[in-house]
């Protein structure tokens, strides 16, 4: 069995990025994907003339994708183009106030001062602190495994610790934001960044304030063609490099011998490899592929991140007041997160997110004079709820909320309607309980409790993607791929 052969389970963003990196290192890479398409959560569909990105809708940190094309010495513009947004998001509040989150800091500060009377210095200070935390602390977390002794020698740990404010660990994100801003509207706006990894801002550590750096210091972007163009670019690059993909192929087992992987069983056919990388949820990897109930139970003990209920609405009308990204805030944010993470009960005033890619490419993603709405609310992970009833409940409360703020009878314009629930998220992407980001970050040590990118008991077995270090979302999955590749380099460099 050749140590130069790698099998990757799952063609999500993390799986494809890992495949690209390992192929460039000289490995023969085979990717097995149970679906008949690449991308995992980052997929899309079309219906009746409307195109929808099915999963992630926010694009930040494009340099992480550019890095893959640079490594491959391929011109990224031949695969993928994007533009920086002038407005990251429109925020709508129940009292009629709308805040435009300009990606230019000066314009954003002016907007906040005019709409909320917030001193401009408060925004500048917050974003400065966010930048410092990201560049001097988070980069270690994003570029290195937290579970290997080598990190102590490779990463500037001491310098990072010197920049670590106690507030980042001992205050919640909400408490931190309340000290940073006078306006409750801004506290709520910056609390929202906890949802970027499926967490509760009233419990998650203030360290999550660094997420704001990505959107408001580095910028938010739009990939031409929609988010699916990211999947298509990575897939095309992997194919160009010679990565082998097998779609509609379910891996039944990861094979081991003497505590080392020897390959996988795919549709009852044995495929041999000394290195296996699972882009599948780590819980299902242990439970279903390794038949390791003990390790699966350890993963299961950790709190799940939030999930989502997503409506895909083809609208027979355009709405000039809306932009690419739009947030309609709950009037009681704390109660909303209490419902998501504590009571699990339906909440009648959810925060509603609407993404409309047709705003950036009119006529491309919806017929002229119409719009493609991706409408999402955060909900608890699946624990046996009646999602058919909840779907109807949330459809009604979402429409009521939008009717009030937009001032239109929204339901009368819905020409096409599809829905994605936590149950279908789990079935399509093998995300345990339909949680979007694996485990939540609702504790001080959550970042250090995420599963490592390698197995401590089975040689040659690695993990990539949103359910393991460093977490969920496109940038973190791409970072996860780099970490896995570096771990493999460190262990097998004598074979490269």
Q: What is the CATH number of the domain that holds 490?
A: 3.50.50.60
Q: What is the DSSP letter of 305?
A: P
In this structure, what token pair is assigned to residue 203? 């419990």
Decide: 205 and 441 in contact? Cβ < 8 Å: yes
Task: Indicate if 342 and 321 belong to the same structural domain.
Answer: yes
Alpha helices in 166-308 (DSSP H): 166-170, 173-180, 184-191, 211-213, 228-241, 282-284, 293-301
Domain-embedded: residue 57 = no
CA distances from 5 to 107, 483, 495 (A): 52, 19, 11
Residue 145, domain extent: 86-219
Task: Indicate if 106 and 209 belong to the same structural domain.
Answer: yes
Task: Indicate if 110 and 164 belong to the same structural domain.
Answer: yes
Rounded distance between C-alpha atoms, residue 409 and residue 328, angstroms = 16
Domain-embedded: residue 62 = no
Of 169, 201, 219, the one marking the end of a domain is 219
Task: Indicate if 129 and 207 belong to the same structural domain.
Answer: yes
Closest CA to 465 of 487, 445, 448, 482: 482
Domain-embedded: residue 124 = yes
Helix axes of 228-241 and 13-24: crossing angle, nearest 10 degrees: 30
For 202, phi and psi rounded to 5 degrees?
Answer: -85, -5
In this structure, what token pair is assigned to residue 456? 């401590």
Task: Indicate if 202 and 232 belong to the same structural domain.
Answer: no
Task: Indicate if 129 and 175 belong to the same structural domain.
Answer: yes
Domain-embedded: residue 351 = yes
Task: Indicate if 29 and 90 belong to the same structural domain.
Answer: no
Task: Indicate if 90 and 215 belong to the same structural domain.
Answer: yes
Domain-embedded: residue 78 = no
Domain-embedded: residue 252 = yes
Domain-embedded: residue 55 = no
Of 219, 254, 288, the one marking the end of a domain is 219
Rounded distance between C-alpha atoms, residue 39 and residue 205, angstroms = 30
Decide: 477 and 41 in contact? Cβ < 8 Å: no
Domain-embedded: residue 45 = no
Of 168, 196, 219, the one marking the end of a domain is 219
The count of structural domains within the chain is 3
pLDDT in tens, the chain (496 residues): 455 999 999 999 999 999 999 999 999 999 999 999 999 999 999 999 999 999 999 999 999 999 999 999 999 999 999 999 999 999 999 999 999 999 999 999 999 999 999 999 999 999 999 998 888 776 666 676 655 555 544 545 545 555 556 556 679 999 999 999 999 999 999 999 999 989 999 999 988 899 999 999 999 999 999 999 999 999 999 999 999 999 999 999 999 999 999 999 999 999 999 999 999 999 999 999 999 999 999 888 888 899 999 999 999 999 999 999 999 999 999 999 999 999 999 999 999 999 999 999 999 999 999 999 999 999 999 999 999 999 999 999 999 999 999 999 999 999 999 999 999 999 999 899 999 888 887 776 665 568 899 999 999 999 999 999 888 899 999 999 999 999 999 888 744 4
* Residues whose CB is less than 8 angstroms from the CB of residue 111 and which lie 6 or more positions away in sequence, other chains included: 99, 100, 101, 102
Task: Indicate if 154 and 32 belong to the same structural domain.
Answer: no
Rounded distance between C-alpha atoms, residue 225 and residue 221, angstroms = 12
Q: Euclidean distance between the first and final Cα of the chain, in Å?
A: 15
Rounded distance between C-alpha atoms, residue 104 and residue 86, angstroms = 7
Closest CA to 378 of 339, 322, 414: 339
In this structure, what token pair is assigned to residue 312? 């895909």
Rounded distance between C-alpha atoms, residue 170 and residue 254, angstroms = 40
Tell me if residue 12 falls in helix, strand or coil: strand
Task: Indicate if 200 and 290 belong to the same structural domain.
Answer: no
Rounded distance between C-alpha atoms, residue 290 and residue 105, angstroms = 49
Contacts 24+ apart (CB under 8 A), 62-68: 62/221, 64/474, 64/475, 64/478, 64/479, 65/230, 65/233, 65/234, 65/478, 67/482, 68/17, 68/20, 68/21, 68/234, 68/237, 68/478
Decide: 296 and 398 in contact? Cβ < 8 Å: no
* Residues whose CB is less than 8 angstroms from the CB of residue 425 and which lie 6 or more positions away in sequence, other chains included: 41, 307, 308, 431, 434, 436
Task: Indicate if 98 and 195 belong to the same structural domain.
Answer: yes
Task: Indicate if 290 and 315 belong to the same structural domain.
Answer: no
Burial 409-432 (b: 16+ CB within 10 A, else e): ebeebbbbeebbbbbebbebbbbb
């Amino acid at each position: 069995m050749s140590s130069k052969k790698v099998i990757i389970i799952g063609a999500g963003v993390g799986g494809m990025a890992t495949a690209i990196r390992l192929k460039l290192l000289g490995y023969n890479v085979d990717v097995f994907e149970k679906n008949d398409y690449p991308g995992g959560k980052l997929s899309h569909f079309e219906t009746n003339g409307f195109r929808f990105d099915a999963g992630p809708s926010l694009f930040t940190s494009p340099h992480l994708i550019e890095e893959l094309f640079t490594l491959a010495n391929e011109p990224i513009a031949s695969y993928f183009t994007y533009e920086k947004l002038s407005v990251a998001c429109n925020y709508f509040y129940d009292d009629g106030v709308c805040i435009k989150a300009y990606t230019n800091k000066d314009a954003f500060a002016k907007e906040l001062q005019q709409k909320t009377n917030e001193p401009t210095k408060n925004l500048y200070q917050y974003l400065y602190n966010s930048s410092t935390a990201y560049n001097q602390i988070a980069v270690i977390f994003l570029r290195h495994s937290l579970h290997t002794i080598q990190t102590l020698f490779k990463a500037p740990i001491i310098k990072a610790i010197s920049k670590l404010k106690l507030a980042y660990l001992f205050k919640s994100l909400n408490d931190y934001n309340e000290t940073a801003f006078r306006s409750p509207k801004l506290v709520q706006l910056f609390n929202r960044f906890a949802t970027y990894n499926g967490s509760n801002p009233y419990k998650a550590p203030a360290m999550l304030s660094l997420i704001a750096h990505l959107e408001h210091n580095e910028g938010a972007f739009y990939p031409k063609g929609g988010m699916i163009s990211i999947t298509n670019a990575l897939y095309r690059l992997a194919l160009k490099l010679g990565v082998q993909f097998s779609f509609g192929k379910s891996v039944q087992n990861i094979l081991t011998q003497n505590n080392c992987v020897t390959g996988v069983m795919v549709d009852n056919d044995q495929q041999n490899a000394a290195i296996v990388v699972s882009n599948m949820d780590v819980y299902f990897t242990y439970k279903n592929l390794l038949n390791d109930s003990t390790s699966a139970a350890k993963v299961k003990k950790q709190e799940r991140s939030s999930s989502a209920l997503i409506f895909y609405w083809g609208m027979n009308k355009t709405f000039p007041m809306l932009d690419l990204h739009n947030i309609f805030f709950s009037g009681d944010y704390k109660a909303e997160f209490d419902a998501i993470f504590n009571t699990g009960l339906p909440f009648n005033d959810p925060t509603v997110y609407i993404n409309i890619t047709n705003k950036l490419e009119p006529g491309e993603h919806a017929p002229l004079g119409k719009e493609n709405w991706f409408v999402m609310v955060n909900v608890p992970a699946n624990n046996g709820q009646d999602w058919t009833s909840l779907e109807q409940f949330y459809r009604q409360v979402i429409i009521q909320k939008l009717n009030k703020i937009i001032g239109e009878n929204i339901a009368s314009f819905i020409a096409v309607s599809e829905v994605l629930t936590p149950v279908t998220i789990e079935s399509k992407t093998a995300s345990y309980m339909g949680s979007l980001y694996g485990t939540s970050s609702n504790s001080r040590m959550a970042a250090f409790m995420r599963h490592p990118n390698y197995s401590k008991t089975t040689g040659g077995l690695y993990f990539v993607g949103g359910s393991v270090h460093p977490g969920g979302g496109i940038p973190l999955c791409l970072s996860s791929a780099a970490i896995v590749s570096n771990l493999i380099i460190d262990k097998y460099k004598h074979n490269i």
